[in-house]
Amino acid sequence: MHKEHPLTKNQQIIFDLIDKSPEPMKAYSILFSVQKKGIKAPLQVYRALDKLVEIGKIHKIESRNAFIACHNSSCQVSKATAFSICEICEKVTEISSTGLSKYLANFKDKDGMKYSKYNLEFFGLCKKCR
């Protein structure tokens, strides 16, 4: 087993920013926020984001091209993700439901195909917007 790698400088800066954000952050908004810390180019941001996604510290909300920190201790790597998204205020919450994740992890389609990874996005109205 590998020891968990510590984050590099750029990765840490960008993770901290996303982790503190109450809402998903987009790449260029991240870029803008970290320019004072010396990260000047899109690629520096995208490379850090790629790595953070790969190791499961953040997730990408595909329908929004935005990133949020993972607060679900059980997902070490981004292979099983589920989110709820408010269609009014765009609030995003990671869903951690044992039932749901078990159901999806064991789902087989009619060809008997099992999947190694999934991403689920639910849309609706959050408490505040209902």
* Residues at the interface with its own copies (CB under 8 A): 62-63, 84, 87, 95, 97, 100, 103-104, 107, 109-111, 113-127
Binding mask 60-99 for Zn ion (x = CB under 5 A): ----------x-x--x----------x-xx-x--------
Q: State in Å, rounded, how far the first CA of the chain is from the last one.
A: 46
In what helix (H) or strand (E) does residue 58 lie, and over which residues does it extend? strand 58-61
Q: How far is the CB of 44 from DNA (least distance, A)?
A: 5
- Compute the distance between CA of residue 116 and CA of residue 93 in angstroms, rounded to an integer: 23
1: partner contacted, choices its own copies, DNA, Zn ion, none (Cβ within 5-8 A by kind): none
Question: Should residue 39 be labelled a site residue for DNA when binding is judged by CB under 7 A?
Answer: yes
Q: Which helix (H) or strand (E) holds 67?
A: strand 66-69
3-state secondary structure of 54: helix
Query: Pairing between strand 80-86 and 92-94?
Result: antiparallel
Cβ nearer to Zn ion, comparing 61 with 86: 86
* Binding of DNA by 35 (CB under 7 A): no
